[in-house]
């Protein structure tokens, strides 16, 4: 039972972090932002060598720069943790997101197409603190975020993953299979305040769905209910859920 609870909790955290990819480009300055105003502007050399998204990967609600780091604060169950993200290998049709947690770094490859941006894998994580857990994506369908032209209130899109999970320990490895299905909707355009600043024109995306895990012959399901706020020219500034299964709040603290 302990391993099952650990696995389900870990997968839920990963599902919320999958959308935790944001970027920054010039032109969208937040209001009342100490973190943004205090950050030093990059040197001419840094600006010349930085890679920015072009082609199908160009999306102001998911802007990409190779010379920037976005830092977040995650709060859940009265526990606070830091999380940051950078981008590399940016091309017109793909890029890699590097997610950094305390004592853990994860890389996820994303693909860009006419219909939007999609993570090609759910996650590749190694939870060495409690057990060795590997997650392999068997199939992925839908999009994670729509193209910039489709950002309007009422727009709906779906995302689904089929995954295989392996837990390694001193005994024989334990394997589980699962599906993650999400329905996403741009619910409203509203003001949102986070440590990085106040953004009056943020799009709130409401995501609902279900994670189903078949582990050791037992099927376990967990609802996924959360909202994410995106700002044009900045990216994701907040993600939060008040669902009883896992209440959390993730806010942008700085980008530099």
C-beta of residue 238 within 8 angstroms of C-beta of residue 193: no
Q: How many domains does the chain have?
A: 1
pLDDT given for residue 138 in this prediction: 85
Spell out, as residue ranges, where the chain has pLDDT lower than 50.
1-48, 123-131
The CATH number of the domain holding residue 135 is 2.40.360
pLDDT given for residue 49 in this prediction: 65
pLDDT given for residue 133 in this prediction: 66
Q: Domain residues for 36?
A: 2-255
pLDDT in tens, 207-241: 999 888 887 778 888 888 899 999 999 999 999 98
pLDDT given for residue 89 in this prediction: 94
Hey, what's the torsion of the CAs at 9, 248, 203, 61, to 10 degrees?
Answer: -60
pLDDT given for residue 103 in this prediction: 78
């Amino acid at each position: 039972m302990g391993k099952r609870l650990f696995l389900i909790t870990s997968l839920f955290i990963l599902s919320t972090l999958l959308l935790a990819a944001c970027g920054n480009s010039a032109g969208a300055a937040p209001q009342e932002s100490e973190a943004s105003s205090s950050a030093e502007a990059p040197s001419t050399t840094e600006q010349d060598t930085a890679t920015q998204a072009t082609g199908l990967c160009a999306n102001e609600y998911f802007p990409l720069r190779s010379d920037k780091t976005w830092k977040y604060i995650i709060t859940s169950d009265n526990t606070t943790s830091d999380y940051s993200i950078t981008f590399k290998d940016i091309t017109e049709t793909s890029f890699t997101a590097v997610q950094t947690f305390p004592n853990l770094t994860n890389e996820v490859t994303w693909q860009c197409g006419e219909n939007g941006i999609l993570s090609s894998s759910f996650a590749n994580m190694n939870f060495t603190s409690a057990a060795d857990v590997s997650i392999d994506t068997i199939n992925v369908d839908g999009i994670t975020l729509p193209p910039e032209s489709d950002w309007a209130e009422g727009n709906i899109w779906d995302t689904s993953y089929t995954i295989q999970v392996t837990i390694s320990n001193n005994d024989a490895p334990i394997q589980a299979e699962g599906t993650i299905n999400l329905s996403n909707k741009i619910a409203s355009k509203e003001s949102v305040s986070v440590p990085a600043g106040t953004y009056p024109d943020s799009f709130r995306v409401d995501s609902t769905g279900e994670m189903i895990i078949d582990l050791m012959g037992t099927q376990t399901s967990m609802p996924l209910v959360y909202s994410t706020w995106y700002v044009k020219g900045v990216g994701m500034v907040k993600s939060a859920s008040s669902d009883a299964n896992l209440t959390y709040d993730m806010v942008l603290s700085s980008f530099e």
